[in-house]
Structure 1
């Protein structure tokens, strides 16, 4: 997928200004920056949720799906897990129960969870359901927007491991948004750094972390004191 000269304005305020970014097929590209940098606004524009100027090519409209930060607010509490996942599937109705079971297995949840409701699940389990729902539509691009920041530290690692496993198993193309460069390093191939609505640096994740060119990237690295080479 290619983002070319993308700009998002809200009245007189420009939230994203002239961003161009490539997300190669089958890769995970990280987008990092502090709160207010414009990274989530960019993601919503790519997902078709926010009007924008510029062009986005390489991903069919309706085949870009997003997993949001708060898994509870993104799930309908009145719908069972099975109904939530089935809603987005592209298979005939008779095949949906089997497809729901397959998707639950993909995100390491038992098939019996199809009968549960969001209120019966932990935060990590809800986020797995949200990921399964996004995968149900067989997206050409999956956007993960700060998907671990609302979770307990004890389950963040499990969700990140799931993302790595799914990427390997399904060959997913992903835009992974985070404020944490350590997390981005763990799951991404490349990284782009945003500040004040603009890209200030991008490249292979190890290159950017090992030899950052922009002072803002260095500041983000300094905010993660335990970030060391594996």
Structure 2
């Protein structure tokens, strides 16, 4: 996926300013920055959810799926888990039950979850359902927007491990958004650092973390004291 000169404006405010970024097929690219840097706005523009200027090529817009930050608001409380997942399936109706069960297994949830509603699940389970629902559409690109920040610390690691496992099993192409460089280092191949709607640094994740060029990147690193630099 190639993002070229993408700009998003809200009135007089420029949220994303002529940003260009390549997400190579089969890789996970991290997008990091503080709150308000424009990360989520960029993600929504790539997914076609907000108007923008510039181009996104190398992927059909209908083949981009997002997993949002808050699993409590991203699922319809009136729908069962099975119905929520089946809504995005691109298989004949007769196969939807089996495919829903396969997707639940893929995200390490029992088939019995299909008949439950979101309120009956934990936050971590809801986020797994949201991931399964996004995968149901067989996306070419999956965008994960701060998908662990609303979860308890005790389950964040399990969801990150799931992302690593899915990437290895499915060969996913992902744009992984986070404010935490330690998290990005754990799941990503490359990283792009964003500030005030622009990129300030990009490169292989270990290179950026161990040899940051931009002062802003060093500031983000200093905010993660437990991140070990080689």
TM bucket normalised to smaller: over 0.9
Question: Partner of 1:133 in structure 2?
Answer: 133
Name the CA distance, whole Å, in 1 between partners of 2:212 and 2:139.
32
Aligned to 2:102, what secondary structure does the other structure show? helix
Structure-to-structure mapping, 1:81-160, within 5 angstroms? 81-160=81-160
Name the CA distance, whole Å, in 2 between partners of 1:16 and 1:22.
16
**Structure 1 segments unaligned to the other structure (5+ residues):** none
Matched, 1:54 2:54: yes
Question: Partner of 1:217 in structure 2?
Answer: 217
Aligned to 1:104, what secondary structure does the other structure show? helix
Matched, 1:16 2:12: no
Name the CA distance, whole Å, in 1 between partners of 2:68 and 2:83.
19
Q: Would the aligned equivalents of 2:212 and 2:218 in 1 still touch at CA under 8 Å?
A: yes
State the Cα distance separating 1:49 from its structure 2 match. Answer: 0.3
Q: Would the aligned equivalents of 2:46 and 2:61 in 1 still touch at CA under 8 Å?
A: no
State the Cα distance separating 1:229 from its structure 2 match. Answer: 4.4
Aligned to 1:159, what secondary structure does the other structure show? helix
Give structure 1 regions of 4+ aligned residues with deviation exceeding 6 angstroms. Answer: none
Question: Partner of 2:4 in structure 1?
Answer: 4
Residues 143-195 of structure 1 show CA distances to partners (whole Å, capped at 9, x for unaligned) of 00000000000000000000000000000000000000000000000000000
State the Cα distance separating 1:12 from its structure 2 match. Answer: 1.1
- What TM-score, normalized by structure 1, do the two folds share? 0.99
Query: Number of residues paired by the alignment?
Result: 230
RMSD in angstroms over aligned alpha carbons? 0.7
Aligned to 1:55, what secondary structure does the other structure show? strand
- What TM-score, normalized by structure 2, do the two folds share? 0.99
Name the CA distance, whole Å, in 1 between partners of 2:40 and 2:114.
30
State the Cα distance separating 1:61 from its structure 2 match. Answer: 1.9
